[in-house]
Structure 1
Amino acid sequence: MTQAQLAEAACVALGTIRKIERGERGVSDATLDAVADALGVDPARLRTDRTAAHTRVREALPTLSAVIATYDLPDDGPVRPAPALAAAVAEAARWRLAAQYTRIVRELPDLLGELARAYHTAPQAERPELARLLVGAYRSADAVAYKFGAHDLSARLVELMRWAVTEADDPLLSATVAYVRTETFFAARAHAAGLRALDQALEAAPAPVTSSEFAVTGALHMRAAVIAGRARDASAAVTHLAEARALADRVGEGVYFGTAFGPDSVNAHTVSVAVSLGDEHVGRALEAVKEWTPPQSLPAERRSGFYIELARAQLWSGLADDAFESLKAARRIAPQHTREHPWVREDAATLRRLKRADAESLTDFAEWCAAV
């Protein structure tokens, strides 16, 4: 990439890129993350002191935990107008979908405190909208907690989302929170219970009429298909995936209430469901995606997740080289998401054992994701 191309991709001024490369100025964490995202590498690779991005995220988790502990007793401080708060929450959601977790933990503690102040000092008529914003902000924070293995913190954030959504009085947002809540069942390996919870959410959701309603209902079916697979309920998994596909065909691919849904998202979940079910389903999934790859328009977190799951399916099918290529693709798309995914560490370690005498890049990858 030329300096101009890098500056455009990272949304950083060309003069700033030139000065950093000449050593004429330092680099802030925000600029470092933006450049790393543009290059598709972990920010640690760009630092001379090798302070890893994942270390900075983990160090920030206690601050995030502290601010949610005072959700009903926020500290005094300024509060921006509602449109500015909405814009900040929307930006955090974009970071979540792009798997830019360092940015989230840097900005969310202050934003969550400000939203709590706004909610508790607002007139009753304004509280539902602020509650919706709290749900969105809690969800972005939860993405970091869950992906980085802080499952107790994640569960607490999910409970706060469930509290806030009752104040928002929005059935579609309630369905979205049920979608996110499934994380707690994944973490506890309580898959059958998670499937029951999603079935209840589907029963409570309004009959879909609008595009948003089709998408939110379809996302619930998509999620239910995966957890049904983990519960080894093949019939339910196939049924829910078919329902999701039918609903996806009625809407375009997009982000609805913070969740990516549409035909491409359902295609990506075909592999996820197959890996959950195992056995002959894996081979079928590999055949199904042979002619399809996730488009660039799909959020980075979803694309990287697809390649992580594809790698597992390929590894189970004896396609070790293909599996490693898929893991590298996931890393290029979303380094932080890939590095913290437990399947990546497991599969990289397995690949290294299977191909111990292979290229140095495999060992480098295993060391990068802490598989060795």
Structure 2
Amino acid sequence: MPKRRCHTCNTLLASDNQGTQCSRCAAAATLSPPNLPPEFWTRPTLREAFEARNIGLLFRAYRQAQSPKVPQTTLAAWLDLTQGRISELERTRRAVTDLERLERWCDALHVPHHLRWFTGGARRLPDAATLYAARTVEPPTPYTPQPWAPTDQTNDSPTAQDQNIVHVAVPRLRRALDILDIPDDGPTRTLAELQADVTTMNTHRLEARYGELVRHLPALIGELSRARQLFTTADRRHVASLLTLALRAADGVAYKFRYFDLSARLIDLMRTTAQESDNILLPAAVSYVRTETFFASGDLHTASRALDQAADQIPTRNLKQAATAAAFGSLHMRAAVVAARAGKADVAADHLLTARHAAHTAPEGIYDGTAFGPASLRIHELAVAAELRDPAGIQRAATWEPPSHLPAERRSHYFIDLARAQLDLGHYEEAHICLQAARQAAPEHTRSHPQVRQALSVLLRTHPSLSSGLLDLAAWAGAR
């Protein structure tokens, strides 16, 4: 009788072991997904799932291709989901458009990167330009990347120009951080002039003007670093506040363009400068931003814990003051989204209720760089409903539209979340309309958002009627 080996660790199997794994590997497999050999992913059922670009099909094929077959309960435990959620995904085969969820699930199952369709690594479907050609419609002229461009340079596609400038400018931004404690020599303006520039940069961030940010932030961060060393002790504390807000503006670019290492570095620097500042509420604003680090890593438990700790540090005796209420409410608003992403509907509802009480005190406005108020809260309520796949909550949100005075980035977030929710419900044309509205509100933010490209990719495959408007939007966003 030929000797049999464990297909995981290659050790010899006992004669009475009728399985394909040794006892140690079999026990470990119940705790976390196994690292499967490359040939496993080439099996016909898995190949069909990848070609269909459907996570529910992939879950089913993944479970059934193993011996013994992996139960839904085991797969649910590996992915931190419920068995009912796994069953729903496999049964309905509804497309999941949340890129972060897809990445987290595929990371957990050790899906090879070249097979992940949502990153562009899997089999390529005809892209929007090909679809244009099939309909005898001329595709837009592609933008040729340019070297560093001054602000007065003209281009037929300013959004494309600004996106390319972001990538070109990132090394300059990194260098500004490298020499934060030993800045280059140069002029240093007055505190009032620096304050005005930082305010302008935060307006650019809130309005999603990323090209403007990277053109000016490296020099401004350097000048603030010099002021931090040259000014009097009292003024230095105010400079630390300004530097924190400038670093936050830089993080707005780094995180949106998926430079997650740079974003994490900026947030660490923000935590330091916020502690040096003369604004006792600034650390709360930094904690709000810090959630991005945990979103990027998928560590929702720590994200929730960090937000709770930050909220506990806000003096409750001052909650009748608008600025304090806004800082407190913003943290709970963010915590609600974290809880919803983790599938904790009750916890999310509690956080939203707390944020709602704070919004009664704080009118809509910008507080230490964060938009908070009744309208911002409604946008987060939609995000929670979208994460929880709550049709009633999504329907309530769809009857409202963010006012024009809200920052452009926040308005576009609303439409992107609503598009994702409508797509999950099978409302394809409504999703398309929402993406067009997001583009109109904040083109740079919308074009760089991975969920927009993912949603458009789904629409290109599933929309019953590919209009020229949808094809134009997909070509503009680079969706396939």
Shorter-chain TM-score above 0.5: yes
1:344 alignment partner in structure 2? 452
Q: 1:32 to 1:312 in 2, by over 3 A?
A: farther
CA contact (8 A) 1:53 1:102 kept: yes
The letter of the residue matching 1:212 is A
CA contact (8 A) 2:429 2:463 kept: no
2:333 alignment partner in structure 1? 222
How far apart, in 2, do the equivalents of 1:29 and 1:343 lie?
30
2:443 alignment partner in structure 1? 335
The alpha carbon displacement at 1:360 in A equals: 2.6
2:397 alignment partner in structure 1? 289
How far apart, in 2, do the equivalents of 1:250 and 1:311 lie?
31
Q: Pick from 265, 274, 277 the counterpart of residue 388 of structure 2.
A: 277
3-state SS of paired residue (1:73): coil
Question: Which range is displaced more, 222-231 or 345-354?
Answer: 222-231
Structure 2: which 5+ residue stretches go unaligned?
1-148
Tell which structure's C-alpha radius of gyration is larger.
Answer: 2
1:128 alignment partner in structure 2? 237
How far apart, in 2, do the equivalents of 1:71 and 1:228 lie?
36
The alpha carbon displacement at 1:192 in A equals: 1.2
3-state SS of paired residue (2:343): coil
How far apart, in 2, do the equivalents of 1:102 and 1:257 lie?
22
The letter of the residue matching 1:309 is D
Q: How does 1:231-250 map to 2 (within 5 A)?
A: 231-250=342-361
The letter of the residue matching 2:370 is T
Pair 1:258-2:369 in alignment: yes
How far apart, in 2, do the equivalents of 1:309 and 1:204 lie?
31
3-state SS of paired residue (2:157): helix
3-state SS of paired residue (2:281): helix
1:45 alignment partner in structure 2? 157
User: What TM-score, normalized by structure 2, do the two folds share?
Assistant: 0.67
CA contact (8 A) 2:321 2:361 kept: no
Give CA-to-partner distance per residue, 1:41-93, whole Å, 9 cap, x none. Answer: xx7536xxx96321111111111011111111111111001100001000101
- After the TM superposition, which parts of structure 1 deviate over 6 Å for at least 4 consecutive aligned residues? none
Structure 1: which 5+ residue stretches go unaligned?
1-27, 34-42
Count of aligned positions: 330
1:6 alignment partner in structure 2? none
Give CA-to-partner distance per residue, 1:86-145, whole Å, 9 cap, x none. Answer: 010001011111001100000000000000011022232321101000001000011001
How far apart, in 2, do the equivalents of 1:249 and 1:175 lie?
19
2:427 alignment partner in structure 1? 319
Pair 1:64-2:173 in alignment: yes
1:174 alignment partner in structure 2? 283
The letter of the residue matching 1:244 is A
How big is the alpha-carbon RMSD for the aligned residues of Structure 1 and Structure 2?
A: 1.7
Q: 1:277 to 1:286 in 2, by over 3 A?
A: closer
Q: Percent identity of the aligned residues?
A: 44
CA contact (8 A) 1:98 1:301 kept: yes
User: What TM-score, normalized by structure 1, do the two folds share?
Assistant: 0.85
How far apart, in 2, do the equivalents of 1:204 and 1:158 lie?
19
The letter of the residue matching 1:127 is R
How far apart, in 2, do the equivalents of 1:51 and 1:124 lie?
43
Q: How does 1:358-369 map to 2 (within 5 A)?
A: 358-369=466-477
How far apart, in 2, do the equivalents of 1:51 and 1:261 lie?
30
CA contact (8 A) 1:44 1:53 kept: no
